[in-house]
Amino acid sequence: MKKFSGKKISTAVFISGRGTNLQSLINFSQKEKSPIKIELVFSNDKNASGLKRAKIKKINTYYQISKKNNILENELIKRLNRRKIKLICLAGFMKILSKNFIKRFKGKIINIHPSLLPEYKGLDTHRRVLENKEIYTGCTVHHVNSKLDSGKIILQKKIKVLKNDNVKSLAKRVLLEEHKIYPKAIIKMYS
């Protein structure tokens, strides 16, 4: 893959938890071929261990502790604007963003989901895949619109469900593929 020439795209990653996809994006962003520079990691949970991954790499972090279900989007938008964020990667981010927020960053928000969308939108995908005795599953990187897990698909990876798979083993194998396709999807977007 060739070196990315041009100004790198100021990127924010939104997380809620352990942040293994964030880690894969951090690793990717440090390569010459990467079109992105991660300028901000946002979490809706102060204790998300993914925040530590960002701090280790000296990436700016910001979190909110929201008692209600909502995050304070105005404050978040201010910070995104300050850093001229042009791409937002949701990586295990468990909050629903408002229509307003999505409109404000139209075409600039992408997400990774652990299923072959449009199949198995929402939570608990691996359990449902196993219960339905699917032969294949996988993961999808897609644009975010106002409907859950429904935006235009950028890239998917299909894998076989193995006979002995349980939720844990399947989640583990899908996650390995997630770590590969998120960077690939970003390359595809900007090439």
What gap in Å lies between CA 121 and CA 150, rounded to an integer?
A: 8
Q: Does residue 113 have an active-site annotation?
A: yes
Decide whether 4 or 130 has the Cβ nearer to ligand GRF. Answer: 130
Quickly tell me which residue has 């991954």 as its tokens.
Answer: 53
Residue from 92, 138, 151, 183 binding ligand GRF (CB under 6 A): 92
Under 8 Å between Cβ of 73 and 97: yes
What gap in Å lies between CA 130 and CA 19, rounded to an integer?
A: 25
17 binds ligand GRF (CB under 6 A): yes
Decide whether 3 or 168 has the Cβ nearer to ligand GRF. Answer: 168
What gap in Å lies between CA 108 and CA 102, rounded to an integer?
A: 9
Q: With contacts defined by CB under 6 A, how many residues of the chain interact with ligand GRF? A: 14
Point out which span in 11-19, 39-47, 78-86, 151-159 binds ligand GRF (CB under 6 A): 11-19
Give the Å distances, CA to CA, from 47 to 40, 44, 92.
17, 9, 14
Under 8 Å between Cβ of 37 and 11: yes
Residue from 38, 91, 141, 186 binding ligand GRF (CB under 6 A): 91
Decide whether 108 or 173 has the Cβ nearer to ligand GRF. Answer: 173
Contact footprint for ligand GRF (CB under 6 A):
15, 17-21, 50, 91-92, 112-114, 175, 178
Give catalytic residues, as residue numbers: 113
